[in-house]
Each structure stands twice: as C-alpha cells, then as structure tokens.
C-alpha cells in the first residue's frame, strides 16, 4: 500500500496491489491461531485487526484505480496535463485556451467525492458525489508549469466573464442601490 497508493499512483501498480490484497484476504480467512486460550489472547486480537485492514485497503485501491486524473491525492503521471510548448504569442494563447478547456472537462468529470462502502463479503462498492463549489470555484494549480503565465491569464479572463454572466443573471447590478 505504501509503495503504490500514496502520492504518485500508476494504474498497473494499483491493479496488481488490489489483486495481491484480495489474495491475502482469502489467505487470512484460512489462517490458524496458535494460542487457543480464552483470556487476553493477543494472537486473536492481532489476527482480527489484520483481517479488518483488507476491506479498507480494497476500498483505497479500487477508488484510486477508478480515478484517472492527475491532481491532488490522485497524482497519476499518465494523466498529467503538460505545459505549453508554443513560443509564438498567438500559438501560446491558443494552447492556453485548449489547456483551460481540458482542465474544465477534467473538473466536470472528476470534481467529485469518492463514496466507498463494502458489501457483505468485504468487496468495495464505489460511487461518486458532486462537490459544491459555490463558495470556492475550482482553479488550476500551475506550480512551475511551462506556460503558466498564459494559462493564468486565460483562466482569469474566463473567471471574470463567468462572474459577469452570474451577476447579470441575478437581475440586478452588483453595488446598485435599492
């Protein structure tokens, strides 16, 4: 789990880890405890604790496998959004707009909370729930990305335009007296 399901995640490693956890969970069901005493039996306590970890590990791995994105806790290099390659200002602007379009599409698809629960056999059931962004709208994090200045400029223009549409849709002008 520590090797494959922390910050950097790769689907092939997550899938292999999920299979391994499933195999270990099956082995755990057949394990035997050497201490058969009824009083302060630490072997039983430890063995039960290990068994309780398998459903949680399965939930984490399955949830991570289902999210093919590259941001926050789901950093998957295979899905990283590249920086801008253009040097010509017009081409750079066009690339920045395409980058923002892709970011918005990813946001519509992945700005969700992962809801995880186990069925009766301890197998994961994953669903997703939309995140309320009415107070804090999503924005790209551009830490050191090549072309971040152009992307930021396009993003701010779009945000200002969206705010203008929202204000006019409200039927009143912001700051006007009543």
Q: What residue spans of 37-140 are helical by DSSP H?
A: 42-66, 89-110
Residue with token string 């998957």: 76
Residue 92, number of CB atoms within 10 A of its CB: 19
User: Do 61 and 97 sit in the same domain of this protein?
Assistant: no
Q: Are 50 and 28 in contact (CB under 8 A)?
A: yes
User: Do 69 and 103 sit in the same domain of this protein?
Assistant: no
User: Do 130 and 99 sit in the same domain of this protein?
Assistant: yes
User: Do 164 and 94 sit in the same domain of this protein?
Assistant: yes
In what helix (H) or strand (E) does residue 75 lie, and over which residues does it extend? strand 74-75
User: Do 111 and 176 sit in the same domain of this protein?
Assistant: yes
pLDDT(176) > 70: no
Q: Considering 77, 101, 116, which residue would you say is the last residue of a domain?
A: 77
pLDDT at res. 105: 93
Average pLDDT rounded to a whole number, residues 87-111: 94
Total structural domains in the chain?
Answer: 2
The pTM is what?
0.80
User: Do 69 and 85 sit in the same domain of this protein?
Assistant: no
The DSSP letter of residue 82 is: P
Query: Cβ-count burial of 56 within 10 angstroms (0-12 exposed, 13-18 middle, 19+ buried)?
Result: middle
User: Do 63 and 7 sit in the same domain of this protein?
Assistant: yes
pLDDT(173) > 90: no
User: Do 113 and 67 sit in the same domain of this protein?
Assistant: no
Q: Is pLDDT larger for residue 100 or for residue 165? A: 100
Distance CA 159, CA 136 (A): 12
Q: CATH number of the domain that 60 lies in?
A: 1.20.58.100
Q: Is pLDDT larger for residue 167 or for residue 89? A: 89
User: Do 176 and 105 sit in the same domain of this protein?
Assistant: yes
Residue 16 is part of which domain span?
Answer: 1-77
Least confident of 45-59, 70-84, 160-174: 160-174
User: Do 31 and 56 sit in the same domain of this protein?
Assistant: yes
User: Do 70 and 90 sit in the same domain of this protein?
Assistant: no
Chain mean pLDDT for the chain: 89
């Amino acid at each position: 789990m520590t090797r494959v399901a922390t910050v950097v995640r790769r689907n092939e490693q997550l899938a292999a880890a999920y299979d391994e956890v499933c195999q270990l969970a099956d082995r755990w069901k057949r394990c035997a405890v050497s201490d058969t005493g009824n009083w302060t039996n630490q072997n039983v306590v430890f063995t039960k604790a290990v068994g309780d970890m398998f459903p949680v590990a399965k939930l984490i791995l399955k949830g991570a496998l289902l999210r093919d994105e590259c941001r926050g806790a789901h950093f998957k290099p295979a899905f990283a959004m590249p920086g801008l390659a253009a040097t010509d200002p017009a081409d750079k602007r066009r690339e920045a707009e395409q980058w923002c379009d892709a970011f918005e599409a990813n946001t519509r698809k992945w700005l969700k909370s992962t809801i995880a629960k186990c069925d009766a056999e301890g197998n994961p059931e994953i669903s997703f729930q939309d995140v309320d962004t009415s107070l804090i709208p999503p924005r790209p994090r551009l830490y050191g990305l090549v072309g971040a200045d152009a992307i930021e400029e396009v993003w701010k223009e779009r945000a200002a335009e969206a705010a203008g549409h929202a204000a006019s849709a409200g039927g009143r002008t912001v700051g006007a007296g009543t």
